[in-house]
Amino acid sequence: MKLKIVISRIIPYLLLILFTLPIIIGYVWILISTFSTRTYGLLPVDKDGKFGGFTLSNWSFLFEPEIWIVTFNTLILALGLTIGVVIVSMMAGYALSRIKFPGRKAFLSLTLILHAFPTVTLLIAIYFVLRWIALIPVLGRNIPIIGGFGYNTLGGVILVSIAIQLPLGIWLMKGFFDEVSWDMERAALIDGCSRFRTWWDVMLPQIKPGIAALSIFSFIQGWGSFIIPYTYMVNASRATVATYLNNLLSETAPTNYSMLASVGLFQLLPVLIFYIFTQKYLLSIFAGGVKGAA
Amino acid sequence: MKVNLMNLTKKFGPVTAVERINLDIKDGEFVAFLGPSGCGKTTTLLMVAGIYKPSEGDIFFDGQQVNNFPPKDRDIGMVFQSYALYPHMSVFQNLSYPLLLKKRPKDEMKIEAQRIADMMGIGGLLKRKPGQLSGGQQQRVALGRALIKKPKLLLFDEPLSNLDARLRISMRGEIKKLQKDLGITSIYVTHDQIEALTMADRIAVIKDGILQAYTDPENLHDRPNTLFIAEFIGNPPMNLFDVEIQSEGGKLFANPGDGLKLAIPDSRKPKKTVKGRVRMGIRPQNIHIDSKEGFDTRVFLVEPMGRDDLIVCKVGNTDVHFLVDPIMRLKMEDSIKLKFDMEKSQFFDTETELSLLWG
């Protein structure tokens, strides 16, 4: 009897370990190889193939200005994406949850379809849109920091990323707003709020966990995004950390895998730290988001 | 403030939730909207509040049409069943929020919030968050928040339904006293007839979106004008029989079954001369045990209710409920003699369900 219980407890763990082991080994390899000349499996080796060869030289990229440019760009991209997605989703989610207007149902199903649409199929069409935006004076390519909203600007990449992230954000926010009681909103209206004040003063504080979760999710998405900046920024090595990484992989021959691992870890670190502190909010996406039925 | 509802109608798509309600509420009056859940009483209240727009008809406050006024311009306060406090604000912030929105000075907000809190008996809880309060305390905060801007009309949406039974009784008295002291015109929505009967000056009974009756509690209880009201008002509910009215020598008799013949007194003679089947109603408290004049029957069931025993007997195919003193120690199958107090009987048309006595 006791043995049975022990076995039934152990089996799930064994299965989990079995499936997560490859991923964990991957992380361990990255960590080891960033500090070694070469690796043989998980063993750090020197250039003669003997155990040892520890070095810090793989981190020398930190002293080049390029890495700091792309890090700054990535930060701007992630922040821009987060702010844009959160603001639009908070408003759209409220409207879709609370206000009856013609085309509401159609809009909801349309955003759901857009969410399912693979980004890659839109790349060429968006390219033309960005080229056209670039022709608009000032807005196109003359804004400080983000460059503008046209082709080959950071702003353009942010704009496209926001558009692709929005369906998820809107549905998520709608789900959270649906959970807030109507009575509270009515009380606010009777107490003397305008509709906007109700939204700002009374509704938004109730969905703080949802806003936090969407912010974190969007930030991480922006930080790691590759295909959009890679496509719409001409000089990929000066765009974001992800494209910089890709550049290392394709341009230097033979590829220095240890250095690649270092840059990868450099990109990963902020996300890992972020995850550790914010995972409880991220979990609420799955708790609150699933209830967002029309 | 006087409130008039004229032909007030609300439709949600093809469904009519409220149909052509007409009623007037006097200044300072306490009116209850009573009806089973889903009857349209809350919808009517929300139209008065300005949350819903009427599909047809008008709402007048002191003679002014307010159909298109937003809630904040209607000078009303509202208390909800779910309390609807703002969980992220302290009790003080909750209470003073209506004043904050009116851009009143900080000092006034502090003084007023303290005054209202003391009046509601929650003066020491101003720094707490709603989540740290009991249900009764939360309801007091909600009441205080509705009162703080000195509204001309107070709306209650089943405010006591989430409280436990004891607290409900004491809050009932408190709300009624508060309303009388402040003299604020009030509308109180409830499905609990005891709340309506004990608190309200007048009761509007609503069923399926239609106003059934609008009168004072005593009238509603003693002179129900429809079968629905007769069944709905009163606890335990009225006994109802299918009877045939027969005329013998200028006198009318009703026969509820088992060969019984009950003489109908002149005061209860149906207005319309009805021959054939009607519904007769008689309240449990108007049925007594009478060893001299009563008819024979047997106790079918005894339900002890503390102060009284609820006894169930059979007359014909109908269950008859009535109350006796527990001291009589009636048991199942006991033989008893029953007498109906026909001076208190009610008669209704079988088809229209309208009273044959009143209205």
Q: What is the ipTM of this complex?
A: 0.85
Q: Are residues B220 and B264 in the same domain?
A: no
A188 in contact with chain B, both atoms CB, cutoff 8 A: yes
Residue contact B82–A202, C-beta within 8 A: no
Residue with the larger pLDDT of the pair A161 and A141:
A161
Residue with the larger pLDDT of the pair A52 and A72:
A72
- Of the candidates B254, B223, B188, the one whose C-alpha atom is nearest the C-alpha of residue B41 is B188
Residue with the larger pLDDT of the pair B254 and B33:
B33
Q: Are residues B214 and B90 in the same domain?
A: yes
Last residue of a domain, one of B231, B266, B298: B231
**Extents of the domains making up chain A:** 2-45, 61-289
CB < 8 Å to B76, chain A: 190
Residue contact B78–A205, C-beta within 8 A: no
Distance CA B121, CA B118 (A): 5
Distance CA A154, CA A150 (A): 9
B147 CB-near residues (< 8 Å, 6+ apart): B77, B116, B119, B154, B178, B182, B184
Q: Does any domain span residue B356?
A: no
Last residue of a domain, one of B231, B262, B277: B231
Instruction: Please say whether the beta carbons of A264 and A272 come within 8 A.
Output: no
For A206, which residue in chain B has the nearest alpha carbon? B88
**Share of residues in chain A with pLDDT > 70 (%):** 94
- Of the candidates B56, B63, B89, B32, the one whose C-alpha atom is nearest the C-alpha of residue A193 is B89
* Rounded average pLDDT over B81-85: 92
Q: Are residues B217 and B240 in the same domain?
A: no
**Share of residues in chain A with pLDDT > 90 (%):** 43
Q: What is the CATH number of the domain that holds B20?
A: 3.40.50.300
Q: Are residues B117 and B155 in the same domain?
A: yes
Q: Are residues B225 and B290 in the same domain?
A: no
pLDDT confidence bin for A291, thresholds 50/70/90: very low
Q: Mind telling me how many Å the CA of B102 is from chain A's nearest CA?
A: 7
Q: Which DSSP string corresponds to B147-198? A: HTT--SEEEEESTTTTS-HHHHHHHHHHHHHHHHHHT-EEEEEES-HHHHHH
The answer to whether residue B298 scores a pLDDT higher than 80 is: yes
Q: What is the DSSP letter of A153?
A: S
Instruction: Please say whether the beta carbons of B283 and B239 come within 8 A.
Output: yes
Instruction: Please say whether the beta carbons of A85 and A162 come within 8 A.
Output: yes
For A185, which residue in chain B has the nearest alpha carbon? B84
Q: Does any domain span residue B358?
A: no
Q: Mind telling me how many Å the CA of B209 is from chain A's nearest CA?
A: 21
* Rounded average pLDDT over B114-140: 92
Which pLDDT does position A1 carry in this prediction?
A: 64
Distance CA A132, CA A135 (A): 5
Which pLDDT does position B56 carry in this prediction?
A: 93
Q: Are residues B324 and B197 in the same domain?
A: no
Which pLDDT does position B23 carry in this prediction?
A: 93
Last residue of a domain, one of B180, B202, B231: B231
Q: Are residues B179 and B298 in the same domain?
A: no
Q: Does any domain span residue B357?
A: no
Q: Are residues B165 and B17 in the same domain?
A: yes
B86: containing domain: 3-231
Quote the tokens at residue A148: 């503008």
A194 in contact with chain B, both atoms CB, cutoff 8 A: yes
Quote the tokens at residue B320: 């008859």
Measured in residues, chain A has a length of 294
B111 phi-psi bin (left φ>0, alpha ψ -120 to 50, beta other) = alpha
Q: Are residues B181 and B248 in the same domain?
A: no
Distance CA B193, CA A32 (A): 76
* Lookup result for tokens 């809050």: B171
Q: Does any domain span residue B355?
A: no
Q: What is the CATH number of the domain that holds B283?
A: 2.40.50.140
Distance CA B113, CA B94 (A): 9
Q: Mind telling me how many Å the CA of B82 is from chain A's nearest CA?
A: 7
Q: Does any domain span residue B298?
A: yes
Residue contact B80–A187, C-beta within 8 A: yes
The residues that bridge with B295 in the sheet, in sequence order, are B338
Which pLDDT does position A239 carry in this prediction?
A: 84
Q: Does any domain span residue B52?
A: yes
**Number of domains chain B is built from:** 2
Average pLDDT, chain B: 90
Q: Is B302 helix (H, G, I), strand (E, B) or coil?
A: strand
Which pLDDT does position A252 carry in this prediction?
A: 60
Least confident window among B62-76, B92-106, B178-192, B327-341: B327-341
CATH topology of domain A61-289: MetI-like fold (1.10.3720)
Distance CA B332, CA B321 (A): 14
